[in-house]
Structure 1
Amino acid sequence: MKIKRIILIMGFLSSVFGFGQNNNLIELTAKQDAEEGWQDLVFSITEKEKLDNGFWSLTCKAKYENQIVGLKINIADGIPAGIVNEEIDNTSFKPNGVEIHSIGKESDKLIEVISKFYGQPKTLKFTSEKLTFTAFPLNKENAVLENGRFHFKLFFDENDERNLYAEIFLNPDLKNGTVELNEKNEEYRSNIVKLLSKNK
């Protein structure tokens, strides 16, 4: 009876004070290099699930100025190597290979932070739209994600049909429980904020 009561108390404290997994979150800017000037972001994987469609669903969160930011990233598993015999294999592009979803208030906070980092007008709402990206694997082996760290370049609106063309790097590391979203080029900052925002 005492043990059950302790468990209930700990659960209550966890929900009220944020004890538990949120205490172990990485700092959003932990991988940034001031000299390089890139606004690279890193997240802890707080939940992961292998979906029936062959994707890994990763809930990604981080700490920033005593708040929690985050998003959900779904990645196709087993994308073939994009670098074969030291050359780029143009057959390895994976249309709709990555999806980004909101997880609610943590995502709203994230787009607010990103808009600040990127020097764009302040945005307070993350899009509720499912965003799909073409993924190109910058790997020399098939990306069986649970085996370690992999690198992808993501393309959004590659035909520029929505005037939102953008590129960004995605580096998931399921073994160590992190995901990085790294800048490709500053010229894409405006479009990245727009595509991640509720009001485009």
Structure 2
Amino acid sequence: MRIGILGTGGMANALGERWARAGHAVLVGGRDAGRATALAGRIGGLAGTLPEAVAHGTDAVLLAVPHAAADGVVSGLSGALEGRTLIDCTNPVGPGFVLETRGGPSAAERVAAAAPGARVVKAFNLCHESVWRMTPPVFDGRPLAVPLCGDDATALDTVRRLVRDLGCEPFDGGGLARAGLLEATAAFLIGLWVGEGVDAQAIAPPLEYAGTR
């Protein structure tokens, strides 16, 4: 696949490197040409501007910029994103692990509104970048599950393939209207992991005990 990456931070590095190793053609786009070139060199990809990353990403574009910058970046590229599969991995989590979008549209829905022609899928927002660098992310013999929220069947199929290329298992999280639940889950889990030092996996019973008995 041809994948464009918007951003030069940790998530762009981790996911871009894994996809490049899987044989995909990755182009890193950034506002700072030096940072984009350095990251592309580390992951084995190409470097360019943000518009060049969108032009390159005919199969998928990863939005990997800070949440506060996401809407502005996407709105500036709105026309070029027409028809593109746009993967939103951002987290609107503020100080105190509070969801910054509470009471309004989710971050993913705001991204979709900023680029109405894009096919937005929310994914990869539940784990720290270090997890995505694992080859593969498997714990006690069980591959990491990656929930996806989106409305376009073709875009979801593309992202499922990219999830499997990481050695993970894609899960259907519902339409984009449910992306806010996924973002809230991230805020809650990050607060437990980082703020409290809690093993958050322990809060949920195994599937066979999850229903009413």
Q: What TM-score do you get using the length of structure 1 for normalisation? A: 0.27
| Structure in which a larger fraction of residues adopt helix | 2
Q: What TM-score do you get using the length of structure 2 for normalisation? A: 0.26
| Structure in which a larger fraction of residues adopt strand | 1
